[in-house]
Amino acid sequence: MSRKQIIWFTILVVVAVGAITIYKIWNKPFTDPMDADAIPVTATKLLSDFSTNEADAQKKYVPDKLGNKVVEVTGEIKEAGKNPDGETYYYLKTGDENSGVKCIMDKGAEIKDAKAGDAVKIRGFCDGVKKDSMLDIVMMDVIINRCKPVK
């Protein structure tokens, strides 16, 4: 083989390996939160852990790789609604008027007839906190994504 052929062959192999890798990553199935062991926690405790020591809470609850930690949150619905993307969410009571736990449900996994005051148990993947501040009030929400109700 000539040097030019070796270079083209090497480029072809690198492109093929890259394409296969991208295809496998793109089509990798998501972990179902119902199929994994979960970390049980109340909404109040989850918010408290993030408020007290955010770095430790990140290590405990937030997956360091996709789908390796599932959180099972229990609490009482404070508010139910839809995001601008059309996703159903349940905002759980925590005893703090300015902060809470927001569970964003998987499509089709909504709890039928859920309303404020209902006790729920929900599994999903914790994304950590979203902070917002208005004037002197700091609002902090713990976000749980890809949630499904535990029956």
83 and 21, same domain (yes or no): no
pLDDT (tens digit per residue) in 17-53: 999 998 887 776 677 788 888 999 999 999 999 999 9
56 and 4, same domain (yes or no): no
128 and 81, same domain (yes or no): yes
| Rounded Cα distance, 124 and 127, in Å | 10
Instruction: Look up residue 18 and give its two tokens.
Output: 């890259």
Return the pLDDT at 63: 83
Q: Say whether pLDDT at 131 is over 80.
A: no
26 and 37, same domain (yes or no): no
49 and 119, same domain (yes or no): yes
139 and 68, same domain (yes or no): yes
pLDDT (tens digit per residue) in 3-17: 999 999 999 999 999
89 and 119, same domain (yes or no): yes
7 and 73, same domain (yes or no): no
Give residue 114's domain range.
33-149
18 and 44, same domain (yes or no): no
How many CB atoms are closer than 10 A to CB 42?
15
146 in Cβ contact with 30 (< 8 Å) = yes
The pTM is what? Answer: 0.75
25 and 64, same domain (yes or no): no
The CATH number of whichever domain residue 50 belongs to comes to: 2.40.50.140
Grade residue 91 by pLDDT with cuts at 50, 70 and 90.
Answer: very high
3-state SS of the chain is CCHHHHHHHHHHHHHHHHHHHHHHHHCCCCCCHHHCCEEEEEHHHHHHHHHHCHHHHHHHHCCCCCCCCEEEEEEEEEEEEECCCCCEEEEECCCCCCCEEEEEECCCCCCCCCCCCCEEEEEEEEEEEEEEEECCEEEEEEEEEEEEECC
Grade residue 68 by pLDDT with cuts at 50, 70 and 90.
Answer: confident
**Averaged pLDDT of the chain:** 88
Grade residue 128 by pLDDT with cuts at 50, 70 and 90.
Answer: confident
Return the pLDDT at 112: 86
1 and 20, same domain (yes or no): yes
Tell me the average pLDDT across 90-111.
90
Return the pLDDT at 32: 79
Total domains in the chain come to 2
Grade residue 135 by pLDDT with cuts at 50, 70 and 90.
Answer: low
18 and 86, same domain (yes or no): no
